[in-house]
């Protein structure tokens, strides 16, 4: 984790050293998000079942924002964000029901190109997220009795037979890569943005010796305000 923060600090310092014709601004960004999972399964029936059972989960985004305006109508917007994501899951079958919530915390770096028209803007670009922590909570109800369980989410991109896994944890990939698309409006030093984010990376690790092409990804919509100093 120290290496990640070192690399991020170097990246921010490099951006801050852009030529003097780029107008540089720093700010604080806070927002609320509605998050869910997207699915791309080989079996379309399984995909439909997962999609129907998955519900949105409210999360948040908070952190530092940076903007580099090369010309009045064009800028590069980035930052370091703590992003809370995940999804809820509700399934009822044969008199039994299961409710689950996955909460994932990422250190996220967006890199959006913004085109401005007066106070309006549209922005698009990639993001990369590094998994920090997470929890999964399950509640299973059968015959009027309920049982609850909670697991820590740990991060591994690849799992082999030799790995010593924690039986009381579930595993997801640490790195999440995706795309942003949104619009915004600026009032004085405040920029209000609405952004749709679509993950491209499978959330679940690759297991050695298993050939599984099913893919689960993050997706979400956020509404945020950035106050530039």
Of the pLDDT bands very low, low, confident and very high (cuts 50, 70, 90), residue 5 is very low
Nearest CA to 56 among 196, 176, 151, 155?
196
Contact present, 23 and 15 (Cβ < 8 Å): no
pTM for this predicted structure: 0.85
CB count in 10 Å sphere of residue 215: 17
pLDDT over 70 percentage in the chain: 89
**Judging by DSSP bridges, how do beta strands 169-172 and 96-117 pair with one another?**
unpaired
pLDDT value, residue 209 = 66
Please state the domain extents for the chain: 29-228
What is d(CA 80, CA 83) in angstroms, rounded to the nearest whole number? 9
Residue 73: helix, strand or coil by DSSP?
coil
pLDDT digits (tens, 9 = 90+) for 116-135: 999 999 999 999 999 999 99
- Token pair, residue 120, equals 């309006």
Helix (H), strand (E) at residue 11: helix 2-16
């Amino acid at each position: 984790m120290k290496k990640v923060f070192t690399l991020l600090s170097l990246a921010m310092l490099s951006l801050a050293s852009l030529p003097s014709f780029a107008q540089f601004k720093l700010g604080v960004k806070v927002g609320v998000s509605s998050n869910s999972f997207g699915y791309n399964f080989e079996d379309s029936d399984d995909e439909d079942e997962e999609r129907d059972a998955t519900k949105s989960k409210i999360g948040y985004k908070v952190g530092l924002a940076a903007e580099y305006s090369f010309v009045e109508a064009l800028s590069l917007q980035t930052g370091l964000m703590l992003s809370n994501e995940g999804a809820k899951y509700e399934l009822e079958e044969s008199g039994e029901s299961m409710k689950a919530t996955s909460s994932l915390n990422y250190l996220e770096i967006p890199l959006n190109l913004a085109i401005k028209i007066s106070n309006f803007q549209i922005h698009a670009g990639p993001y990369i997220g590094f998994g920090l922590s997470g929890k999964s909570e399950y509640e299973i109800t059968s015959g009027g009795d309920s049982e609850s369980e909670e697991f820590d989410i740990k991060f591994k991109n690849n799992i082999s037979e030799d790995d010593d896994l924690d039986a009381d944890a579930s595993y997801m990939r640490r790195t999440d890569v995706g795309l942003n698309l949104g619009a915004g409006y600026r009032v004085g030093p405040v920029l209000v943005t609405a952004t749709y984010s679509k993950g491209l990376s499978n959330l679940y690790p690759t297991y050695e010796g298993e050939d599984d092409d099913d893919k689960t990804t993050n997706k979400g919509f956020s509404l945020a305000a950035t106050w530039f100093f």
